[in-house]
């Protein structure tokens, strides 16, 4: 099977590249023309150069003989990135770039297009015990989520018009070795022994270990029932913020120092200093129901949360 994988220098794309390359030597991982060292050490059969991914990118010969496109490339500018609220930049890559690639893939005879989307298509928050479901109506709350939702809608239109099989995967926060962003910041605070006022938080959040997400992606490459479906991805174990922090501390072999402040007070303080979104990720709930993923694909997470955190934060187990 010949596979084209985009976003090979990203967190998910690089992990997927390493695993897929070991299973299928006929793997193409395009490199950006301005950065030819992104995945230079990966055992891919081809690493051609492309320009930035947008609505004008010409994929040309890269799609010849390709059976499956795995589209991991994306940008999060406007979602905490360097160009806050930059809707045109988000749509250029996440929407226009995705649909442009899919159209050319369909024209080239590609059978399946797997799109790494985001749970932000569903929304930003759930009530405890009322998780998002794969069949829920899209309800994105920010520009990033909107750009992914528009890409999904366009992909299913292309599928209807051309017969291209489309598979959508919506993960929540992905963690693993060398993770960055808020997850890494939490780890740094635990490592420093900083006391945190989060002992009273009673939320529930879903996460997905990179090992579990990559295993699901590989399942979607090969599974006949994955065609034209939307799947949510998670570890299948939801955690409160105190449980997450205790899990990180255990993985590091450290003690965690938590004390209590009311969540309402923490939310108010965060809003006053312009950190409302960051506070919501610690205080609010975001749960995913992966029963459809389990039932349709017969898939289950390959590692549990404890092992995922250990691989992420125990330097003796990181790879």
CA distance 191 to 188: 5
Tokens of 223: 């599974």
DSSP state of 236: S
Q: Is 45 helix (H, G, I), strand (E, B) or coil?
A: coil
Q: Which residues are known catalytic residues?
A: 144
Alpha helices in 74-142 (DSSP H): 87-90, 98-107
Q: How far is CA 87 from CA 2, 83, 91, 210, in A?
A: 34, 9, 6, 28
Q: Which of 85, 86, 53 is nearest to 72 (CA)?
A: 53
H-run or E-run covering 154: helix 143-162
Q: Which of 156, 169, 207, 115 is nearest to 297 (CA)?
A: 169
């Amino acid at each position: 099977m010949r596979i084209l994988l985009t976003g090979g220098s990203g967190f998910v794309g690089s992990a997927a590249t390493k695993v897929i390359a070991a299973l299928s030597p006929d793997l193409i991982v395009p490199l950006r023309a301005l950065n030819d060292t992104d995945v230079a050490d990966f055992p891919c059969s081809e690493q051609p150069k492309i320009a930035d991914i947008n609505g004008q990118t010409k994929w040309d010969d890269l799609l010849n003989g390709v059976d499956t496109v795995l589209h991991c490339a994306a940008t999060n500018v406007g979602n905490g990135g360097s160009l806050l609220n930059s809707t045109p930049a988000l749509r250029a890559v996440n929407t226009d770039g995705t649909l442009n690639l899919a159209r050319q893939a369909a024209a080239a005879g590609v059978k399946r297009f797997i799109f790494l989307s985001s749970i932000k298509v569903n929304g930003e928050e759930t009530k405890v015990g009322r998780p998002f479901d794969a069949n829920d109506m899209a309800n994105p709350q920010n520009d990033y989520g909107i750009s992914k939702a528009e890409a999904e809608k366009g992909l299913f239109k292309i599928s209807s018009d051309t017969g291209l099989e489309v598979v959508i995967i919506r993960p929540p926060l992905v963690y693993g070795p060398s993770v960055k962003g808020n997850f890494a910041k939490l780890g740094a605070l635990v490592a420093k022994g900083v006391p945190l006022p989060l002992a009273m938080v009673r939320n529930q959040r879903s996460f997905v270990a990179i090992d579990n997400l990559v295993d699901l992606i590989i399942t979607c490459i090969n599974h006949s029932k994955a065609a034209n479906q939307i799947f949510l991805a998670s570890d299948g174990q939801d955690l409160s913020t105190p449980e997450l922090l205790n899990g990180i501390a255990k993985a590091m072999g450290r003690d965690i120092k938590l004390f209590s402040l009311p969540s309402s007070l923490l939310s108010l303080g965060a809003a006053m200093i312009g950190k409302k979104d960051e506070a919501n990720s610690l205080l609010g709930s975001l749960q995913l129901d992966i029963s459809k993923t389990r039932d349709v694909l017969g898939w289950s997470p390959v590692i549990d949360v404890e092992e995922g955190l250990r691989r992420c934060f125990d330097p003796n187990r990181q790879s």
